[in-house]
Structure 1
Amino acid sequence: MHDSSSATMSHGLAGPVLSAVGAPVRATARRHLLSIDDLYDAELDRIVRRGAEFADGRCDDERPLRDLVVGVLFRETSTRTRTAFAVGALRLGAQLVSYGAADLQENTGETVADTGRVLSRMLDVLVARTAGPEEELRAYAAQERMAVVNAMSAGEHPTQALTDLTTLLRHFGRLAGLRVLYVGEGNNTASALALALSRYPGTELHLRTPRGYGVQPQYLERAADHAARAGSTVEQRHTMERLPEVDVVYTTRWQTTGTTKPDPHWREVFAPYRVDSAVMTANPGAVFMHDLPAHRGEEVTAEVLDGPRSLAFDQAENKYHSARAVLEWCAGAAR
């Protein structure tokens, strides 16, 4: 397990290498998932494939979290992620404690680190969506007893990336060599996808984002390191001209949960990045993905979202299957 220090060890398919951000492995049964870069490549691939196994119904009778307690803390709205982890914990045999945004004594001044130390004496896993910086989640994780899962921070949405890879694996039967066009805001979903897909040989991630709304440089740099090692491609452009031929077209809502845009005319900037029938016609063999919630007529047209090439609602279901794989791994119960 990686701790919160400033260098990450990442195991590639050909052996261990040092990547951009990370930490040494800790000898503990509990493992945090705060960033995709907290995972060795073999761990990342195992979680993705385990999610597919859960989706195929091969593990429905297993209760690896029996006698464990999982806490669920969401300070921002959530439909898929919160439900997936709550139901996943229960189906794996765990007991569940759910916290609202204003339930903890942090609201009266207790530090995040102290809260984490207290919760770690009662919970086995904490699934937390703060929508704040990753450092806040690392403060929860600064203890040895309780695993912490990043259910979305401001910079990265790692459990969404695992869901996305599980969806791709189930549909295509492989991940190596897949080509993905991501269109829209370079948000936490895009950051995590870049960090995850770049681990697989021959993959291509083409990011098309409005200028000023791209994936943050630190995530692109880390993804580039993975890509150089794996022989994959991650590139970002701020135009919708000359779109590449791909297997997948992916978009997300333009207004990321918990954020606002200072520019009152931002919708005009984003309008050319709408995924419509013209975008899909340019890639006649591609499927469509969206992490939901969707706003038909903004980032995607109803024709595309509800069309026969859309995997968006299968993708939503896979959040539940992937959540079970994440919980099993973080609790140290993975086989």
Structure 2
Amino acid sequence: MPDQKTMRAIGVKNGKGPATSLYIDNIPIPSLTPTQALVKIKAFGLNRMDLLQREGHYPLPPQAPETLGVEFSGTITALGSAKDQDKTEDFKIGDEVFGLAYGGAYAEYIAVATGMLIHKPAELSWEEAAGIPETWITATQALFLVGGFARGQSVLWHAGASSVSICGIQLAREAGAKEIFVTAGSEEKIKFCVEELGATAGFNYRTQDWCEELLGATGGRGVDVIVDYIGAGYFQDNLKAAAVDGRIVNLAFMGGVRVEGGVDISPFLRKRLRYEGSTLRSRDEGYQRKLRDMMVENALPRLRDGTFKVFVERVFAFEDVIEAHQLMESNQTKGKIICTI
């Protein structure tokens, strides 16, 4: 355990507000339950949910601390009192790890279940490791667990240059996707998805009718799995773009939550579609641990050998977290934003 009883952490003035409301606070170092480890954080990743939480628009699960942040890398400095090896797995004090938490990563220390920790490979930097857990686990969940993807099928990743889709494109490519399509808001992002990540083609939603373009590219068939963050704004076109027996996985509502107008829901029956929403942070530790194990099996070996890449857009110092949030709000990034302590 550290000698001191308090630590630096990023707080939000008045509990919610714009990026400029972030500040460095001094709060107690968290105590441990028997199945947790205390990790001294080296780096943490930013996610869009952090912006929503900062603004007061993200309902926290009951086990989450108020401090922002769900993914991190660092070194174990203490373990809970569990005697059962199955409860603390194979972790020990001094291990270099990265992992997923319900919250609390914007700080010098974090208490986290050992079931959500992963041993950090020497091949990965602290910054790369901190950018893996939330995005790679979410992409694994969306593609395989919810989307039911199988080799030879086709996939559409909306927001193709977002961190989750960057992971998902790589996962789908390695898992034998027949075709991988993306939507994005600039030609630069589409080029990145195709040339850097291996997507088949991309459609600029600002200048193209992405749905018609995708149907044209697939000979009218559509795609087997659609991973969507837009919600209401793409609801009708997602139904139209899905293939027979297609699955649409909804992860966010960036395009609103209310579908307006005369929406045609007949594709649900005509094409036997499945439209399913999913979350990660609100899930119990058993579910999250299952996903951690899937990610370790499917992605970690390829992250170690360089087949998969962690794209880090920019690294900020802990003290520059306001600027980091402002960059994420700009929607100009292609990959992870990381803060280091």
After TM superposition, is the score higher than 0.5?
no
The TM tier, using the shorter chain, reads 0.3 to 0.5
Which has the higher relative contact order, 1 or 2, with Cα contacts under 8 A spaced 6 or more apart? Answer: 1
Going by fraction, where is strand more abundant, 1 or 2?
2
Larger radius of gyration, structure 1 or 2? 2
